[in-house]
Amino acid sequence: MLFGSIVHDLVEETLKKYLNNGHLPTKDILKETIRTRLNEGFIDSTKNAEQWRKKPKHTTMLHEIYYGEEKKLPAEKIKKIQDRLEAVVEHILTCDTMQELTSERPTYYLESEELRTMNLENTKVFAVLDFLYKDEENNKWVIVDWKTGLQTEEDPYQLALYAQYVLDYYPETALEDIVVRNEYLLEGTSVEHKLDHSTLQEVRELLVQSVERMAGFLEDKEANKPLPLEYFKKTTNTFACKRCNFYELCFPKQ
């Protein structure tokens, strides 16, 4: 999770700097930046635990450190991060989006990582687009979502929600002029999805169902007060417990 967050931030910074000064960093600079930020997260987790408890938003706590017996990362975890780092950095600079933005094709940057809201079926929905720009030459609005993990079936639905936001926030757009793209930086693939109005309607319906399900766990909807803890049953999928940030609620330290 920390690795993915760092990569997202770095891609955003890289693109904004390029749009401002026309220069891209080297692979070595990108690698060193990621390593430095990972090390800072490790130091936070091992030496600033008390500060994290007071201000968790401003301090990093790694799952492996918090729940681990030893205050260090497993060797296999370190190896996995190193392998991912090499692949991701390579693809940051060669992905389709980077190639388009650094070409002579006229493009217009619109926004990235901005917290936006829209109203869907009487529900306030928050949307944060990784990157949005306009391809002036082809009159296309390109929504980009950076992924540091593997492809999932849910990815197109997330992008469909972003497309709905663009339609609402930029009224001059039309659905057929919107391109939605996943950049899978670990795999080095760019995947574009075709959207139509039936897909958007399906996403709205899924959203309504999700909201209704969440509301079912509230004792008081107006106060956003949840039902008592006993209503929230433990999962039978114990494999998921290994990565759950709330592991200690079910398995407190003895």
Instruction: Dump pLDDT digits (tens) for 191-229.
Output: 998 899 999 999 889 888 998 999 899 999 889 899 998
pLDDT at 120: 79
Whether residue 132 contacts residue 101, with contact meaning beta carbons closer than 8 Å, is answered with no
> What is the distance between the terminal CA atoms of the chain, rounded to a whole angstrom?
27
Strand 140-147 and strand 178-184: pairing? Answer: parallel
pLDDT at 245: 85
Residue 253: pLDDT over 80: no
For 94, half-sphere exposure in the C-beta direction (CA atoms, 13 angstrom radius) is 12
Tokens of 140: 């296309």
Distance CA 248, CA 140 (A): 48
**What value does the mean pLDDT take over residues 218-247?**
88
pLDDT at 194: 85
Residue 28: pLDDT over 90: yes
Beta strand extents in 86-130 (DSSP E only): 107-111, 115-120, 123-128
Distance CA 23, CA 6 (A): 20
Helix (H, G, I), strand (E, B) or coil at 134: strand
pLDDT at 60: 94
pLDDT tens, residue by residue, 80-129: 999 999 999 999 999 999 999 998 888 889 999 999 998 877 888 898 99
pLDDT at 142: 95
Give the number of other CB atoms < 10 A from CB of residue 158. 15
Residue 72: pLDDT over 80: yes
Whether residue 156 contacts residue 191, with contact meaning beta carbons closer than 8 Å, is answered with no
pLDDT at 122: 80
Distance CA 188, CA 151 (A): 11
pLDDT tens, residue by residue, 42-57: 999 999 999 999 998 8
pLDDT above 70: percentage of residues in the chain: 99
Question: Minimal CA–CA distance to 178: which of 215, 127, 133, 112?
Answer: 133
Residue 238: pLDDT over 90: no
Look over the chain and give the mean of its residue pLDDT values, rounded to a whole number. 90
Residue 184: pLDDT over 70: yes
Tokens of 169: 């926030």
Which amino acid would we find at residue 106? P
